Amino acid sequence: MDIPLPVYIIGLRGLLNAIALLLIGASLLVNLPLLVREPTPWQLRFFKFTAGFAVGAMVVELLVRTLFMGGVTWLHAIYGLLAASILWFVSGLEPGGWFRKSLEKAPEQVGPYFFWASLVCLLLWWRFIETGIARSPGP
């Protein structure tokens, strides 16, 4: 019994979304102490990895849905784009980061931003997965 390649690609998409959800949840737990202190270098690296993984998973999701699953609903795309964008921009707030340099007045403490971004993005990514499961566009 041969399983067509698109089925494997669709399964990989789901696996990437689940891993991204777990990474964002782990990031939330790792960033909990950042409410009262600044991040250590390994916390910054982990957050940047999580942000990059979420962006990659969101791009794969949108491509696979467009190519193999009949299209993307606008609400599903919005949740994914919001979560990935927030993670990506907050990851640039690190000392010497690209986003921090672009701000006219950079924040003095960035630790709380990492925690709140992780919390909000965990909720957004959960909705991203739910909207992807709940309604798949059909022909």
**Closest of 18, 87, 97, 103 to residue 46, by C-alpha:** 87
Condensed to tens digits (0 to 9), the pLDDT of residues 15-60 reads 999 999 999 999 999 999 999 999 999 999 999 999 999 999 999 9
Burial of 24 (0-12, 13-18, 19+ CB in 10 A): buried
The neighbour count for residue 56, using CB atoms within 10 Å, is 13
Q: pLDDT value at position 70?
A: 81
Give the SS3 label for residue 13.
helix
| pTM exceeding 0.85 | yes
Mean pLDDT calculated for residue range 102-106:
87
